[in-house]
A and B are shown apart, each in its own frame.
Chain A
């Protein structure tokens, strides 16, 4: 029962262009969403988050958009850099006090120089 889904296992983008990673969820009780980045042989690193009361959160080159009615969120990276090449995981929690995160299966982003 995968409550958080990332339907694109991989994405390739030219350096300098925009990368858009997508995530869908099924549990309408989720109200906090996070993106993590993972390099090989390292643990996931927190990237950016968004609360359900917002529809956009921006941090430098990274912007997360949330569409609650569609149960969809996306991560935009502009401009993409080769160092952004990694696996990106979308995660969700029921509320800010929740004990656990539900992760998607990840999208491998490759930024081509």
Chain B
């Protein structure tokens, strides 16, 4: 039974570049959320998608964008990378929206911006 899978696991990018992170939810899960975890902090909400529609957006600049595909997988895009974007990016899936349903997180993508 595959869990939430994220790719790549590690990534090094240069300031100003663009990056795309990918996430495949648990089979049957229609909601995908993205979180950013900076070292020493808790995860911070970026986006949630449910049934291919954006259902929530956190306090992140427009350089961050995402989308969900018909198979419920998702991509997170970050443009014009800054050093401060270095973080662990976590994808979480759930059956539906809402914290009640409890997210299942992937292992994350570690992004380093140099």
CB–CB B105/A96 < 8 A: no
User: B108–A100 contact, CB under 8 A?
Assistant: no
Q: How many residues of B contact A (CB 8 A)?
A: 26
Partner of B99 from the list A4, A42, A89, A93 (CB cut-off 8 Å) is A93
Residues in A whose Cβ lies below 8 Å from that of B33: 99-100
**A residues within 8 A CB of B102?**
34, 46, 49
Q: Which of A41, A98, A105 contacts B98 (CB 8 A)?
A: A98
Please tell me if the beta carbons of A43 and B99 are within 8 angstroms of each other in the complex. Answer: no
B95 to chain A, nearest CB (A): 13
Interface string of A66-105 (1 = CB under 8 A from B): 0000000000000000000000010111011111111111
A-B contact count (CB 8 A): 75
Which residue of chain A lies nearest to B49 when distances are taken between CB atoms in the complex?
A99
Q: Within 8 Å CB of B43, what residues of A?
A: 44, 89, 101, 103
Residue of B nearest to A90 (CB): B42
**Contact: A32 with B100, CB < 8 Å?**
yes
Number of residues from A at the complex interface, CB < 8 A? 29
- With the chains together, A100 CA to B104 CA distance in Å? 13
CA distance A91 to B45 in the complex (A): 11
- Which B residues are in CB contact (< 8 Å) with A45? 105
What chain A residues lie within 8 Å of B108 (beta carbons)? 43
Question: Which residue of chain A has its CB nearest to the CB of B94?
Answer: A46
B100 touches A99 (CB 8 A): no
Which residues of B from 6 to 54 have beta carbons under 8 Å from A?
Answer: 33, 35, 40-45, 48
Question: Chain B nearest CB: distance from A108 CB in Å?
Answer: 11
Contact of B107 with A by CB under 8 A: yes
Given A42-B107, A43-B92: A104 touches B97 (CB 8 Å cut-off):
no
> Are A101 and B107 neighbours in the complex by a CB distance under 8 Å?
no
Choose one: B4, B40, B48, B104; the contact of A99 (CB below 8 Å).
Answer: B48
- In the complex formed, the residue of B with least CB distance to A49 is B102
What 4 pairs across the A-B complex have the smallest Cβ distances?
A99-B56, A43-B105, A103-B42, A93-B99
